[in-house]
Chains A and B, each alone.
Chain A
Amino acid sequence: MDSNIKMRADKVNFFYGSTQALKSVNINIFKNQVTALIGPSGCGKSTFIRLFNRMNELVVNTRLTGKIYIDSQDINLLCIDAVDIRRRVGMVFQKPNPFPKSIFDNIAYGLRVNGIKDKNFIEERVIQTLKKAALWDEVKCRLKESALGLSGGQQQRLCIARCLAVETEVILFDEPCASLDPISTGKIEELILELKKDYTIVIVTHNMQQAARVSDFTGFFLLGELIEFGKTSDIFTAPKDKRTEAYITGRFG
């Protein structure tokens, strides 16, 4: 397999009960690139990225067929623990979801559950990730205060920092700006471009301008199918499929 491929989905079908949410999806996610997944609500793109950190297992009555690979390793083998996968593949959710703990503890949480006890190390890492997430200047004097007192945009950057602290290889963004104002959105986008150097990034978004701004590759989902996948510049300037063209020109969605 191409060494530039970080993750791969191979003929993936996914079911909620008897409803099929994903239909034979094949995709390659390239290393240190930003891949955007676009498509109308309910097309299965969020369901799809949640397969890469096995988050859908927490939902009852679901079924997966096909294979998901990370570094050419099948992640759904019985001998592989979902916990180990999630330590490698972080996730930032649609709604900022900090814990009702202090700002410091929110970030330290991921380190602590991974068995790190060294206080100095934790402190250093917290500061370092807050800086990386462009949040340090805003919170450096209130690390012991509750994270719920932050604004929505700050909370979302905190969630990104929480994810960075565990040093994952991949970050999945599930509509990270859906509940944010344009200025916060801009900051998150800058951050994503910055993080690309060290991480492989997949971002689900409703906002096509956002996909065009941040991503290198784009996949268009419709009714559970991956209609088209390619370089973002190609998808947005010369889509091959009529449906992709209709969607990105705003004729439906």
Chain B
Amino acid sequence: MNYKRIKEKIYKWIFTVLAFSSLFFLVGIMIVLFKEGTPIFKDVGFFKFLFGSKWYPTYEPPDFGILPLILGSIWVTAGAIIVCVPLGVGSALYLNELAGFRQRQFLKPIIELLASIPSVVYGFFGMVIVTPFLQKTFNLPTGLTALNASLILGLMATPTVCSIAEDALSYVPRSFREASFAVGANRWQTLTRVVIPAAGSGISTAIILGMSRAIGETMTVLMVAGGAGVIPKTFLDPVRPMTSAIAAEMGEAPMGGDHYHALFAIALILFLITFVFNIIAEIISRRFRIKLGLSG
């Protein structure tokens, strides 16, 4: 075999290995999560673990009920959605439908820049600016609450939502708009009855990916959510979402102990949630492309 062919084969192998490495890591992470997380289900019981309302991992005897943590995650994610959907979808609509060429060239990179700010900076912003503001406005003992986390997470998810929603809107063929205008529809009718329905599943994908961004975020919620592992009653209660429980407690949990396994089990559940979100988003966006006659 000549030298050139060997060289080509080597290149091919290198890139094959690189391409498959992410699959390898994904499977590796899943194996570790399952191996380290499942023992707690044996000790505590799966349903007691999932729906137990008390999270006191260091008490004697300890309580490993993660319902308060799950609810904490759900509350801040739901709150974040309330913030990022109008902001993200609204700015996407503006960028795509109303902004002139120059405005778009200027605004889109700025919105995308929001995504490149490190989460610790967002957390810092939440602690220093939002916390005292909430404390004063609502007369609270602490401003570190689910509301605070929701606001910051919503802001963080906005660029994701905006950028994907904007892509979805720009995939709507110009011919649809022209057809609509040609039968005498005005701009608003064209937007609400043709463009948004046509881009609808793309926009849903954007929202789901925004949710998955919010539910997986750690540093920010660790800093601003308040960290109380109890079931929240209002948005003004401090919460301890799943991610912040893992991050805060992993350092102290004795390796191989129940607490350690419990944290892995939380990570496993979190992983499954985001995994499902991403699969749903993928299915919807595939349907969207087929519906618009783009490649499946």
Contacts and interface: CB of A to CB of B under 8 A. Distances in A.
A55 B292 contact: no
B189 to A, nearest CB: 5
7 contacts: A93-B175, A93-B182, A97-B179, A98-B179, A99-B194, A100-B292, A109-B193
Contacts of A86: 181-184
A60 B100 contact: yes
A93 B179 contact: yes
B136 interface: no
A-B CB proximity, top 4 nearest: A110-B183, A87-B184, A97-B175, A113-B185
Interface stretch (A21-29, A34-42, A132-140, A159-167): A159-167
Contacts of B186: 83, 113
Interface of B is mostly: helix
Contacts of A84: 184
Contact of A97 (B100, B101, B178, B185): B178
Given A100-B291, A113-B189, A53 B180 contact: no
Contact of B176 (A99, A110, A112, A165): A99
Interface string A40-67: 0000000000000101001010000000
Interface in A75-106: 82-84, 86-87, 90-91, 93, 95, 97-101
Interface of B: 100-101, 173, 175-186, 189, 193-194, 197-198, 291-293
Contacts of A162: 179, 183
B175 A95 contact: yes
A99 B180 contact: yes
Contacts of A109: 180, 183, 185, 193-194
Contact of A58 (B100, B181, B198): B181
Question: How big is chain A's contact interface, by range?
Answer: 20 to 34
Contacts of A110: 183-185
A195 interface: no
A97 B190 CA distance: 14
A114 interface: yes
A98 to B, nearest CB: 8
A197 B233 CA distance: 71
B176 A97 contact: yes
A58 B182 contact: no
A247 to B, nearest CB: 28
Given A93-B175, A99-B180, A100-B198, 17 more contacts: A55-B181, A58-B181, A60-B100, A60-B101, A82-B181, A83-B185, A86-B182, A86-B183, A93-B179, A99-B179, A109-B185, A110-B183, A113-B183, A113-B189, A148-B291, A163-B183, A166-B183
Interface in A161-179: 162-163, 165-166
A149 B151 CA distance: 44
B101 A90 contact: no
B293 A53 contact: no
| Most chain B CB inside 10 Å of its own CB: which residue of A53, A109, A166 | A109
A232 to B, nearest CB: 26
Contact of B293 (A91, A114, A148, A159): A148
Nearest to A60: B101
Contacts of A112: 193
Contacts of A148: 291, 293
A37 B260 CA distance: 79
B176 A53 contact: no
| Most chain A CB inside 10 Å of its own CB: which residue of B183, B189, B197, B293 | B183
A90 B178 CA distance: 11
A84 B186 CA distance: 10
Given A100-B291, A113-B189, A113-B193, A166 B175 contact: no
A17 to B, nearest CB: 12
B182 A53 contact: yes
Contacts of B175: 93, 95, 97
Contact of B184 (A100, A113, A159): A113
